[in-house]
Chain A
Amino acid sequence: MPSVYTVASREFSDIIHSKRFIILVAVFSIVFMVGMASIYLTVLSMAQGLGIAMPTGFLGRAASIIASSMSYFAPIVGIALGCDAISGEREKGTLKTILAQPIYRDTFITGKFIAAILAVSIAVSIASLVNVGGSIVILGVTPTSEDIARLALFIVFSILYAISYYGIAILLSTIARRTTQSVIVSVTLWAIFTFAIPIIASLVAYMYRPITGIEIIQRPGGNVTIRRPSPEEMQRIIEQTRARATITEAINSITPNYHFTKIIQYILGFMQGGLNQSLSIYQGLVSAWPNILVLVLVACITLIASYMVFIRQEAR
């Protein structure tokens, strides 16, 4: 269909020439990278001071910097491109002009989606390369060829993550009457997914599975001792901790953020709190498969929902 290509190429050229896009890519990738790196360096020097062993190798050191910077960058790029995709055209009246031409409405959304995938790929790749390059300079460690393969996969899944947020944003932009509404709702949703849900998850887990059996005894004079639990108590505490983790994960898994974090942990080979280099790239992909599927589904479902809303919608 040539008109999909026509819509996509105009949209793509609009995006990459927009101030919003250029500023996002330039400022965000550099500022965030520098911020993350300085935090990491602080942690590193503290760890050295306390005599704690830190992970080694390029990814061992840089993975958390790169991953955490991307975990903010990708959703924001997705939202920035998607939040006015339909409502903006409706407000400017261009939507009517376009719909007066012989195209199908789904062509319009598909064209936008394709353009967004391309633009997001460029943004994410540039940001990742800046981060990787910056990490090499700041940390003074060079990546191995396996590191590079892992980073390439990381870029692919970061694009997928950004697109899933783009999908949410374009759906909201299709439903909303005004762009301001869709911006507010998508940013709020992002904040809820990023900050509120993890806190809620921990709270709920704590409420349902309080860990009992550990007694902290404060004696006069300020000495604190922990009463050693019996083996049976120990067993129960382990079970309770597991149950809590299950609840926390179940709640967190409603957010795309959770699935992205999981994928990245498997792909970059680090787990929370330490390195998990035992997983090969292949094993990582296999373990991450369900999470990958969730992000693909989020992108597809939001796209289909946008079609369905848009096709029934009044063009005024």
Chain B
Amino acid sequence: MTSIPEYVIETYGLTKVYRSGGGAVVAVDKLDFTVEKSSIFGLLGPNGAGKTTLLMMLTGLTLPTNGSGRVLGYDIVRESREIRRRVGFLPEGFGFYEHLTAEQNLEYIAALNDIPKPERRKRIEDILSLVGLYEVKNRRVSSFSRGMKQRLGIAQALIKDPELLLLDEPTAGLDPEGSRAFKDLVLKLNSEGRTIVLSTHLLFEVGPLCSSIAIMNRGRIVVQGRVKDLISKLMSEVGYKIYVEVRGDLGKLASALTGMEGVRGVRIGVDSLYVDSTRDIRVDIVKIASDMKVEISSIRVEEPSLEDLFIRYYRGEASNA
């Protein structure tokens, strides 16, 4: 990867302090962060981390207390309207006019986006089918379930044919099927070259979808980067857990491995060994085993999951605090 990444979002020392009554809450704390073009970016963090505040600052729904930022090259304070013209935003706690139908609501949003009238109808119908609401387009939103409203929210963000989508808790209220359909939709939109930023505190919902993530806690980004890079970094830090299935003398192989450089521990199971190592020593294990005439039926490294990442960095931050 030698190409210089192009950023659709960049922030510099972005800060938001909410003042209510006597107290002040630092919701976003001197944040420097970037989102690469055409990525699926997961903004992960526990409740109150500042994810919503960050997304609202990026779209001009709330003003930063300090610092600056650019979205698609536009300044988030001075050119927020240009940003909202090009960025589909699903805000947290959004709503629709309940007495209007799904179609009428989108019609209104389309008008606010200056989409020419002749184009509107077709675009609205296409998007309604995309989110699976075409059949109910003439029903009032008041009769919609939470998941249906959520899909309408996503439809609303798509109306302007955005190159960047900012979705705050997009899977809230979706059932497993809806959630899967949402993931397919995200992949489809991403394959068209759109950048998608998803904020969530539910790691498993969207985490596996993301090519890059940032873990936020207490207004700061604890760690950010491509998921692949983060995982190999984590592996080099926490070590490799190698699982070996063996037919033959387990004990002999185990004692041979114990003395090896980098091996921190070997545990013997039923027809299997767990090796905890600071390096990837799979090749060495296979070699030693074949020298000892011990047959290995399988060998693999247990990769740390996103969850391991999350727990490690989240805990790390918590213990630093």
Q: Which residues of A contact B (CB under 8 A)?
A: 2-3, 6-7, 10, 14, 17, 92-94, 96-104, 314-316
Q: Count the A-B residue pairs with Cβ separation under 8 angstroms: how many?
A: 79
- Interface pair A100/B94, CB less than 8 Å apart: yes
A6-B112 in contact given A97-B94, A99-B61 (Cβ < 8 Å): yes
- Interface pair A94/B96, CB less than 8 Å apart: yes
- Interface pair B97/A14, CB less than 8 Å apart: yes
Pull 10 A–B residue pairs with CB atoms less than 8 Å apart, ordered by A. Answer: A3-B114, A7-B112, A96-B61, A96-B91, A96-B92, A96-B94, A100-B94, A103-B84, A316-B52, A316-B92
Q: Report the bound CA distance from A6 to B110 in whole Å.
A: 10
Contact of B93 among A6, A103, A316 (CB under 8 A): A316
Q: Among A10, A99, A102, A314, find the residue whose CB has the most chain B CB atoms closer than 10 A.
A: A102
A99 to B, closest residue via Cβ:
B61
Question: What is the 8 Å Cβ interface bit string for chain B, positions 52-67, against chain A (1 contact, 0 not)?
Answer: 1000100101100000
Q: Report the bound CA distance from A99 to B81 in whole Å.
A: 10
Other 12 A-B pairs with CB < 8 A, given A14-B99, A98-B112, A100-B61:
A10-B97, A94-B96, A94-B97, A96-B91, A97-B95, A97-B96, A97-B109, A100-B157, A103-B112, A316-B62, A316-B92, A316-B93
B86 to A, closest residue via Cβ:
A102
For A102, the chain B residues whose CB sits under 8 A away are 81-82, 84-85, 112-114, 160
A6-B94 in contact given A100-B59, A104-B81 (Cβ < 8 Å): no
A101-B112 in contact given A96-B91, A316-B62 (Cβ < 8 Å): yes
Decide if the interface of chain A is mainly helix, strand, loop or mixed. helix
For A315, the chain B residues whose CB sits under 8 A away are 56, 61-62, 91
Q: Report the bound CA distance from A96 to B59 in whole Å.
A: 11
Shortest Cβ-Cβ A-B pairs, 5 listed: A93-B95, A102-B85, A96-B91, A101-B112, A100-B89
B96 to chain A, nearest CB (A): 6
For A3, the chain B residues whose CB sits under 8 A away are 111-112, 114
- Interface pair A93/B94, CB less than 8 Å apart: yes
Q: Report the bound CA distance from A316 to B153 in whole Å.
A: 17
Within 8 A of A (CB), among B74-125: 81-82, 84-85, 89-99, 108-109, 111-114
A6-B111 in contact given A93-B95, A96-B95, A316-B93 (Cβ < 8 Å): yes
**B156 sits at the interface (CB 8 A):** yes
- Interface pair B156/A97, CB less than 8 Å apart: yes
- Interface pair A92/B95, CB less than 8 Å apart: yes
A10-B108 in contact given A315-B61, A316-B56 (Cβ < 8 Å): yes
For B97, the chain A residues whose CB sits under 8 A away are 10, 14, 92, 94
- Interface pair A97/B84, CB less than 8 Å apart: no
Count of B interface residues, CB-CB < 8 Å: 31
Q: Which residues of B contact A (CB under 8 A)?
A: 18, 52, 56, 59, 61-62, 81-82, 84-85, 89-99, 108-109, 111-114, 153, 156-157, 160
Q: Report the bound CA distance from A6 to B109 in whole Å.
A: 9
Q: Report the bound CA distance from A97 to B154 in whole Å.
A: 11
Q: Among B52, B111, B113, B156, find the residue whose CB has the most chain A CB atoms closer than 10 A.
A: B111
For B85, the chain A residues whose CB sits under 8 A away are 102
Q: Report the bound CA distance from A14 to B98 in whole Å.
A: 11
A100-B91 in contact given A3-B114, A6-B111, A6-B112 (Cβ < 8 Å): yes
A142 to chain B, nearest CB (A): 43
For A10, the chain B residues whose CB sits under 8 A away are 97, 108
A236 to chain B, nearest CB (A): 56
B97 to A, closest residue via Cβ:
A94
B10 to chain A, nearest CB (A): 21
Q: Report the bound CA distance from A6 to B112 in whole Å.
A: 7
Contact of B91 among A7, A97, A104 (CB under 8 A): A97
B88 to A, closest residue via Cβ:
A100
Q: Report the bound CA distance from A99 to B80 in whole Å.
A: 11
For B99, the chain A residues whose CB sits under 8 A away are 14, 17
- Interface pair B95/A94, CB less than 8 Å apart: yes
B157 to A, closest residue via Cβ:
A100
For A96, the chain B residues whose CB sits under 8 A away are 61, 91-95
For B62, the chain A residues whose CB sits under 8 A away are 314-316
- Interface pair B113/A101, CB less than 8 Å apart: yes
Q: Report the bound CA distance from A315 to B286 in whole Å.
A: 61
For B93, the chain A residues whose CB sits under 8 A away are 93, 96, 316
Q: Report the bound CA distance from A10 to B110 in whole Å.
A: 13
B104 to A, closest residue via Cβ:
A10
Contact of B109 among A101, A104, A314 (CB under 8 A): A101
A164 to chain B, nearest CB (A): 28
For A104, the chain B residues whose CB sits under 8 A away are 81
- Interface pair B114/A2, CB less than 8 Å apart: yes
B82 to A, closest residue via Cβ:
A102
For B56, the chain A residues whose CB sits under 8 A away are 315-316
B82 to chain A, nearest CB (A): 8
For B52, the chain A residues whose CB sits under 8 A away are 316
